[in-house]
Structure 1
């Protein structure tokens, strides 16, 4: 067993089955003499419902998933080259919609229908996979433990591209801007600056939400770990109580048998002396006869 094999097994399970299976695989790695692998397996985090839904979708291998991830590569290249992305973005939206229908159906068939928050996180993860090659690789592997979200400017807004060209045409018509024009440009500049600040605030808010989601996931994971540890500790404590009781009984029996042995040894010694004395007296009697 290696880490990839263990991860494939664990992230193919339902979230509630994850912790017990992880404990089992870590114990197997220890028995096999691989403490490093055991530690790596233990470090794998239990998936959230949305992450499980995407992993489950990956294992179903719908053709739209490969189409989406390949489209993401073309979308990123077009965006970096400054090429139009409207058509690619439209195609992306259609693929994500189709994949979410499949993911919802698969989750419902598995007895875990996707609620609105989890469905939204799963959709965000699919969109993030088209924007971030790292997320794309994570989705392909099907080892997600938490949802992913792309924080930054997405190539899904080509309408913003013409704005700089429109702004450049304005000064050409008025080489000598009037006070009103200057005031308008200043207001536009302030508006753009405020828009940039607003976007930065939104990005920070999204990053904070992602951190909060990760913290909530860690809390759920450690809560499950704590509950399992409590259960096992209670079982061991109960077993220790039984063993202590048996030990007390055994020690009491040992003490009783020790006293019995001491009495037997003492009486045996006395009996030996009496037997020797009786034999001596009998011999003397025979001698007299």
Structure 2
């Protein structure tokens, strides 16, 4: 199977193998890793086998995050865009931008975390509360840190990620507010000093308006991603309910067919017994008929012999000598 995925030089094949490997549940990871490594080595791709064997088994939370990335590519892409917008707002110390995007961050992280747990459950692995917290932590880290975002976007996390301590945790908190106040004071001071020169001030306002416009676009994209994630979750739940209903109907039909089969088998068994009994009775009747026929033939022969004997004894004139 692995051989079919190999491209020129084996590079495309091993990358796809690794992608699929990190979307494999941790309980099955080692067995599949050894199977893929053995297949690569058997095909003569020693370097690929070495890379596959070096892959480390992910934690349950890391696997769920990898699974989310692969199963929900559009939502994941927009989640990454939200993180970029949020980090840009924080770097510019724009308290309004930080507050606006941070409010969306909580709801989106919660929605994607629920999707990750649902995907894991559908794969046969229910996430514990501690694992769910690790998934939340990983998603917050993806929003807060560029390196974490790049690691998650590769789809091969081995362990949960932790967001940086200096990133605002929710709505613009004390750090964001203080930063906004410092930024506001700095802008006020610059406005006072540069009042005689309106042109630079106008350029500054234009640049600020442009930054806010870009952040608004990023915010809208992130909000749309959250809405799409919620719709996708509703669709999945509807599909699951439909599948459960179809399964119950199939089970009911199976039970009814089983009952009919059992009844038919009982009727067949009874009919077989009746057929056997009727066969024996027919055989007995045929035997009696043959015996009666033989007796009739013997009686007829006896009667004819008796008539002949009587005729001989009677003589020509009917006298008895």
- Which TM bucket (shorter chain)? 0.5 to 0.7
Q: Provide the residue aligned with 1:37 in structure 2.
A: 48
Using the alignment, how far apart are the partners of 1:136 and 1:161 within structure 2?
A: 22
Residue 114 of structure 1 deviates from its aligned partner by 1.0
More moved, 42-51 vs 31-40: 31-40
SS at match of 1:36: helix
Pairs within 5 Å for 1:250-265: none
Bigger radius of gyration: 2
Q: Provide the residue aligned with 2:160 in structure 1.
A: 147
1:134-164 per-position Cα deviation (integer Å, ceiling 9, x unaligned): 2212222321121111233113444324447
Is structure 2 residue 47 aligned with structure 1 residue 47? no
Residue 17 of structure 1 deviates from its aligned partner by 1.3
Residue number among 43, 60, 73 corresponding to 2:71 in the alignment: 60
Structure 1 residues 78 and 38, CA gap change in structure 2 (3 angstroms): same
Is structure 2 residue 125 aligned with structure 1 residue 120? no
Using the alignment, how far apart are the partners of 2:148 and 2:158 within structure 1?
A: 12
Structure 1 residues 23 and 115, CA gap change in structure 2 (3 angstroms): same
Pairs within 5 Å for 1:129-208: 129-156=142-169, 157-163=172-178
Using the alignment, how far apart are the partners of 1:31 and 1:131 within structure 2?
A: 43
Residue 22 of structure 1 deviates from its aligned partner by 0.8
Q: Provide the residue aligned with 1:13 in structure 2.
A: 24
CA contact 1:68–1:92 (8 Å) conserved in 2: no
CA contact 2:134–2:161 (8 Å) conserved in 1: yes
Using the alignment, how far apart are the partners of 2:71 and 2:177 within structure 1?
A: 41
User: Which of structure 1's runs of 4+ aligned residues deviate more than 6 A?
Assistant: none
Using the alignment, how far apart are the partners of 2:49 and 2:19 within structure 1?
A: 15
Is structure 2 residue 133 aligned with structure 1 residue 86? no
Between the two proteins, the alignment pairs up a number of residues equal to 167
1:11-63 per-position Cα deviation (integer Å, ceiling 9, x unaligned): 12111111111112112222233322221111111111111111121122164
Q: Provide the residue aligned with 2:85 in structure 1.
A: 74
Length-normalised TM-score, structure 1: 0.53
Length-normalised TM-score, structure 2: 0.48
CA contact 1:55–1:143 (8 Å) conserved in 2: yes
SS at match of 2:125: coil
Which sections of structure 1, spanning at least 5 residues, go unmatched? 170-289
